[in-house]
C-alpha cells in the first residue's frame, strides 16, 4: 500500500489535522459571531472593503470604461432605428416641456402665496459607483464617498430621478448602497393618489414587490409610489416609481431610477426627525417673579393697559 | 522541473492566489447592476477543486481558507460559513485524490459533483436553521449546475495552460520542490 503510506506522510499528519481544525473553528466562529452580533462584523467587513476595493480602482475604471465602449459600439448598429425613436420622443418631450414650464410658474406662484419653507437640510452629496456586489444573490453597489464626507448609515441614495437604495455599511472612503431590489430591502411607501401606506420588499427581481397595502381595492396599476418617511427611515416624498401588476396578480413597483446605468448617486443628507415624546407642558414665563410685593410702577402700568 | 529561483510549488500557489484575485476583481466590476435572471458558475470553486484533485499540494488549506474568507467578505456573503464549507469540501476531495488519480475523468467529475451538491445543500440548510436571508433556491441551483458544467473546462484549462497535471509515478518535481 504505497499509496496509503504516501497519503499519510503528505496530507494527514496530526499537525495538518490540527491546522484544519483550527481553521474550521475560526471560520465557523466568525460566522456565529456574525449571526449573533451582525453590526460589529459588518463594520469589520466595511473596513476590509474600504481597504481592498479602492486599491483595485485604478484597474476597475478603465476596464469598466472599455466594456461600456464596446457595448455602445454594438448599439451603433441600431443607430437608424434609435434615431427615429429619439425624434419621436423629442416631439413628445417638447409638449411635456411646455406643460412643465407652465406648472413650474404656477408652482412658484403658489409657493409664494403659501410662504412654504423647504427643509434646508435636505441637501445631497454625489458619489460615483465603484463596484457592485459581485454576486447574483446580493444587490448592492459601492460608492466612493464615506464617513470622511459625512455619510451615515440609513441615508437615502437616488439617481437624478428616483430612489435607488439606502446606505448600509460606511467605510472611511467608501459606502455600500443596498439597492431596492436586494432581498433584505424593505422601504415604507405611500401610494398616490389614494394615500395608502405599503411596504416595498426587494426580491432579487427588477420590480420589487409591494405588500401590506392597507386597502388593496383602492390602488391600481399606474399609481405613483413615494417614500412615506414612516419609522424615520427616509425623508418623505422621494419618488420610487410606478405601481404595476404582475401576471400573478401581485402588485409590484416599476422603479423610476435607471438601474441599468447606475453611475452617479446622490446621497441625501437626512438627519433624524425630532420626536415629540412628552405631553404638552403648562406655558409659563421662564422666570416667575418671586413672592415679593409688586412694584407699584408695574402695577400701575398693568392697570392702565 | 524545479525552478531555479523558486520551487515550482510556491510559484503555483502564487498563481492560484493571483487567479483568485483576478476572479474577485472581475466579479466586482460594476458592469451590470440589474438583478440577473441567471447565475453564472462559481469559477473559483471549480478552480480550487480541479487543482485539489490533481495536485493537492498546490492548494494548501490555509491559503484556500484565507482566499475563501476574503471572497466571503468582498461578495457580501455571510462571512465564514461558505469558506468553512469550501475547506471541508477541499479536504474531502484531497483525501480522495489518491484513489481518483488512477481513474478516468468521469469518475473525478462525479466525485466533484457530489461534493458540490452536498456543499450547496449544507449551506442552505444551515442558513435556513439560523434564519438568515438567502437567495432564491432557483438561483442557487442554477449556480450549482453552472459550476458543474464549467468544471471540465476549468480542469482542461488548468491542465493545458497552467500545467496542473496529475502526478505520474516516477515524477520527481514535488520531491525536488520539497527538498
Short-list A160, A230, A162, A163, CA closest to A195: A230
Phi, psi of A141 (to 5 degrees): -130, 160
Confidence category of residue A2, pLDDT binned at 50, 70, 90: very low
Residue-wise pLDDT for A123-162, tens only, equals 788 898 988 887 888 889 999 999 998 888 888 998 878 8
Residue-wise pLDDT for A29-41, tens only, equals 999 999 888 888 8
The answer to whether residue A131 neighbours chain B at the CB level (below 8 Å) is: yes
Q: How far apart are CA A254 and CA A221, in angstroms?
A: 10
Q: Extract the C-alpha cell encoding B8.
A: 515550482
The predicted structure's pLDDT at residue A294: 53
The answer to whether residue A248 neighbours chain B at the CB level (below 8 Å) is: no
The predicted structure's pLDDT at residue A143: 92
**Taking all residues of chain A, what is their mean pLDDT, rounded to a whole number?**
81
The predicted structure's pLDDT at residue B126: 92
Give how far the C-alpha of residue A155 lies from the chain's centroid of Cα atoms, to the nearest Å: 6
Strands A239-245 and A224-227: antiparallel
The predicted structure's pLDDT at residue A304: 52
Confidence category of residue A296, pLDDT binned at 50, 70, 90: low
Most B CBs within 10 Å, among A5, A23, A64, A74, to test the B interface: A23
The predicted structure's pLDDT at residue A3: 43
Give the CA distances from residue B49 to residues B44, B71, B104, B116, in Å, rounded to whole numbers and listed in that order: 9, 16, 16, 10
pLDDT above 70: residue A218: yes
| Among candidates B65, B81, B94 on the partner chain, residue whose Cβ is nearest the Cβ of A11 | B94
Confidence category of residue A10, pLDDT binned at 50, 70, 90: low
Across the A:B interface, residue pairs with CB atoms under 8 Å apart total: 147
Residues of A within 8 A of B56 (CB-CB) are 10-11
Which residue would you say has higher pLDDT here, B90 or A305? B90
Most A CBs within 10 Å, among B43, B69, B74, B78, to test the A interface: B74
Residue-wise pLDDT for A75-109, tens only, equals 777 788 888 889 899 988 988 888 888 888 888 87
Give the E-state strand segments of chain A in sequence order: 124-132, 140-143, 156-158, 163-170, 175-179, 186-192, 196-201, 209-211, 224-227, 239-245, 251-255, 264-268
**CB-CB under 8 Å, B83 with A136:** no
Most A CBs within 10 Å, among B26, B27, B30, to test the A interface: B30
The predicted structure's pLDDT at residue A38: 84
The answer to whether residue A56 neighbours chain B at the CB level (below 8 Å) is: yes
Residue-wise pLDDT for A160-211, tens only, equals 788 999 998 899 999 999 999 998 889 999 998 888 899 999 988 889 999 8
In angstroms, what separates the C-alpha of A250 from chain B's closest C-alpha?
A: 18
In angstroms, what separates the C-alpha of A206 from chain B's closest C-alpha?
A: 6
Q: Which residues in chain B show pLDDT less than 70?
A: 1-6, 32, 168-179
Task: Summarize the confidence of residues A280-288 as an average pLDDT.
Answer: 70
Q: How far apart are CA A4 and CA B95, in angstroms?
A: 10
Task: Summarize the confidence of residues A60-75 as an average pLDDT.
Answer: 81
The predicted structure's pLDDT at residue A298: 53
Residue A211 C-beta-side C-alpha neighbours within 13 Å: 8
Which residue would you say has higher pLDDT here, B114 or A54? B114
pLDDT above 80: residue A281: no
Contact (CB, 8 A) for B51 and B63:
no
Amino acid at each position: 500500500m504505497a499509496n496509503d503510506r504516501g497519503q499519510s506522510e503528505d496530507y494527514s499528519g496530526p499537525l495538518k489535522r490540527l491546522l484544519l481544525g483550527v481553521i474550521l473553528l475560526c471560520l465557523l466562529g466568525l460566522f456565529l459571531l456574525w449571526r449573533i452580533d451582525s453590526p460589529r462584523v459588518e463594520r469589520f467587513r466595511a473596513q476590509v472593503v474600504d481597504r481592498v476595493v479602492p486599491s483595485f480602482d485604478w484597474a476597475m475604471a478603465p476596464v469598466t470604461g472599455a466594456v461600456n465602449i464596446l457595448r455602445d459600439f454594438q448599439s451603433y448598429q441600431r443607430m437608424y432605428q434609435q434615431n427615429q425613436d429619439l425624434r419621436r420622443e423629442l416631439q413628445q418631450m417638447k409638449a411635456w416641456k411646455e406643460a412643465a414650464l407652465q406648472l413650474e410658474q404656477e408652482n412658484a406662484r403658489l409657493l409664494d402665496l403659501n410662504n412654504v419653507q423647504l427643509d434646508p437640510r435636505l441637501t445631497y452629496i454625489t458619489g460615483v459607483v465603484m463596484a457592485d456586489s459581485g454576486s447574483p444573490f446580493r444587490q448592492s453597489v459601492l460608492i466612493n464617498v464615506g464617513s470622511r464626507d459625512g455619510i451615515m448609515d440609513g441615508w437615502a441614495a437616488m439617481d437624478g430621478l428616483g430612489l435607488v437604495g439606502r446606505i448600509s455599511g460606511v467605510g472611511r472612503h467608501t459606502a455600500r448602497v443596498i439597492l431596492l431590489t436586494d432581498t433584505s430591502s424593505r422601504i415604507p411607501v405611500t401610494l398616490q393618489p389614494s394615500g395608502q401606506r405599503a411596504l416595498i420588499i426587494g426580491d432579487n427581481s427588477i420590480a420589487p414587490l409591494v405588500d401590506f397595502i392597507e386597502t388593496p381595492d383602492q390602488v391600481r396599476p399606474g399609481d405613483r409610489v413615494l417614500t412615506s418617511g414612516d419609522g424615520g427611515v427616509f425623508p418623505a416624498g422621494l419618488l420610487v416609481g410606478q405601481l404595476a401588476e404582475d401576471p400573478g396578480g401581485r402588485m409590484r413597483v416599476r422603479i423610476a431610477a435607471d438601474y441599468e446605468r447606475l453611475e452617479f448617486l446622490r446621497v441625501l443628507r437626512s438627519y433624524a426627525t425630532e420626536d415629540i415624546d412628552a405631553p404638552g407642558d403648562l406655558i409659563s414665563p421662564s422666570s416667575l417673579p418671586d413672592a415679593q410685593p409688586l412694584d407699584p410702577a408695574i402695577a400701575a402700568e398693568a392697570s392702565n393697559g | 522541473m524545479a525552478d531555479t529561483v523558486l520551487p515550482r510549488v510556491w510559484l503555483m500557489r502564487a498563481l492560484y492566489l493571483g487567479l483568485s484575485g483576478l476572479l474577485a476583481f472581475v466579479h466586482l466590476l460594476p458592469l451590470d447592476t440589474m438583478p440577473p435572471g441567471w447565475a453564472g458558475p462559481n469559477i473559483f470553486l471549480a478552480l480550487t477543486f480541479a487543482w485539489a484533485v490533481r495536485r493537492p499540494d498546490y492548494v494548501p488549506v490555509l491559503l484556500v481558507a484565507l482566499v475563501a474568507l476574503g471572497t466571503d467578505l468582498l461578495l457580501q456573503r455571510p462571512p465564514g460559513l461558505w469558506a468553512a464549507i469550501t475547506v471541508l469540501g477541499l479536504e474531502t476531495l484531497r483525501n480522495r485524490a489518491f484513489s481518483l488519480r488512477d481513474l478516468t475523468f468521469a469518475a473525478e467529475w462525479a466525485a466533484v459533483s457530489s461534493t458540490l451538491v452536498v456543499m450547496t445543500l449544507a449551506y442552505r440548510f444551515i442558513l435556513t436553521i439560523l434564519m438568515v436571508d438567502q437567495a432564491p433556491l432557483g438561483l442557487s441551483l442554477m449556480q450549482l449546475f453552472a459550476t458543474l458544467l464549467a468544471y471540465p473546462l476549468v480542469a482542461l484549462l488548468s491542465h493545458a495552460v497552467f500545467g496542473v497535471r496529475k502526478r505520474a509515478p516516477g515524477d520527481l518535481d514535488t520531491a525536488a520542490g520539497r527538498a
